[in-house]
């Protein structure tokens, strides 16, 4: 198995030009003929932030001080994770022509999707951090952990996208199901409410949501300016290796049937 993984990594490195081209295509080609172009990548998170802010600070008064900072610090990572549930799951099926006609590591299609969306998230988050600092909000020393949390989150996402994209080739219902499931995460991820305000069954449901731990880590680092709770940090660091190992195993077992299933 390890020999096979080593060969896969070598194949990915040898095909790095294809990976680079796919990333550029996804970043700049998706909105090529639109007026805003690349900026459309940031429109959805910003629209979501405005809607959430109005809904939970004006229509429904929230006890969270500096609510816009709390909201924005967790929103971009959340969009990164949920968008890869749907778009990532279709990364193989949406490139059926390439899979049938060309030889290249199929995992490159997954990597290009995750990397391009990660670049968008990273750029958006840097802008948010600048705005937060300019507004007078002080960041604590815990900010040094942010790159580690970001990398861990990217590895975690890559793992489950490998699983979902492979399963979607064999059962197209997977992507359609995920379109509905992703909506559930909007209500059970603590972007606009605090974990300390929860209790009972709903608290347990939120704690079962793997996205909760990353969003909470961002909140504690950026909004509260403190080191993440030990349990939150452990979950953020333990989930990626489990996810990526599972992803590699499932993807390697199913990839040989991609061409005939597409």
CA atoms of 127 and 74, how far apart (whole Å): 14
Q: What is the pLDDT of residue 44?
A: 67
Q: What is the pLDDT of residue 42?
A: 66
pLDDT tens digits, 20-43: 888 887 777 665 655 555 566 666
pLDDT tens digits, 117-166: 898 888 888 888 888 888 888 888 889 999 999 999 999 999 999 999 98
Residue 86: pLDDT above 60?
yes
Q: Which one is predicted more confidently, 252 or 157?
A: 157
CA atoms of 10 and 3, how far apart (whole Å): 11
**What are 68's two structure tokens?**
């816009």
Q: What is the pLDDT of residue 199?
A: 80
Q: What is the pLDDT of residue 57?
A: 65
**What are 26's two structure tokens?**
């996804």
CB atoms within 10 A of CB 9: 12
Q: Which residues contact 226 (CB under 8 A, 6 or more apart)?
A: 140, 142, 220
Q: Is 228 left (phi over 0), alpha (psi -120 to 50) or beta?
A: beta
Q: Which residues contact 65 (CB under 8 A, 6 or more apart)?
A: none
Q: Whole-prediction pTM value?
A: 0.85
* Candidate from 87-91, 145-149, 209-213, 248-252 with smallest mean pLDDT: 87-91
CA atoms of 77 and 83, how far apart (whole Å): 10
Q: What is the pLDDT of residue 258?
A: 77
**What are 19's two structure tokens?**
């990976």
Report whether 211 contacts 82 (CB < 8 A): yes
Q: What is the pLDDT of residue 35?
A: 53
67-90 mean pLDDT: 86
């Amino acid at each position: 198995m390890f020999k096979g993984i080593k060969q896969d990594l070598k194949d990915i490195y040898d095909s790095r030009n294809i990976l680079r081209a796919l990333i550029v295509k996804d970043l700049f080609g998706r909105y090529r003929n639109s007026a805003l172009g690349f900026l459309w990548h940031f429109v959805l998170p910003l629209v979501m932030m405005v809607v959430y802010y109005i809904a939970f600070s004006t229509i429904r008064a929230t006890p969270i001080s500096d609510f816009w900072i709390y909201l924005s610090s967790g929103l971009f990572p959340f969009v990164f994770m949920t968008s890869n549930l749907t778009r990532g799951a279709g990364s193989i099926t949406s490139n059926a022509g390439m899979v049938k006609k060309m030889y290249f590591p199929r995992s490159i299609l997954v990597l290009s999707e995750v990397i391009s969306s990660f670049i968008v998230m990273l750029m958006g988050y840097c802008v948010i951090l600048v705005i937060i600092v300019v507004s007078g909000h002080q960041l604590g020393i815990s900010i040094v952990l942010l790159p580690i949390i970001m990398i861990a989150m990217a590895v975690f996402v890559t793992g489950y996208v490998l699983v979902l994209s492979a399963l979607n080739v064999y059962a197209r219902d997977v992507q359609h199901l995920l379109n509905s499931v992703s909506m559930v995460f909007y209500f059970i991820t603590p972007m606009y409410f605090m974990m300390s305000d929860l209790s009972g069954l709903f608290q347990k449901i939120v704690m079962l949501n793997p996205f909760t731990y990353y969003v909470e880590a961002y909140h504690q680092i950026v909004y509260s300016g403190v080191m993440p709770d030990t349990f939150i940090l452990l979950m953020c660091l333990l989930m990626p290796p489990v996810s990526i190992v599972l992803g590699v195993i499932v993807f390697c077992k199913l990839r040989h049937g991609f061409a005939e299933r597409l």
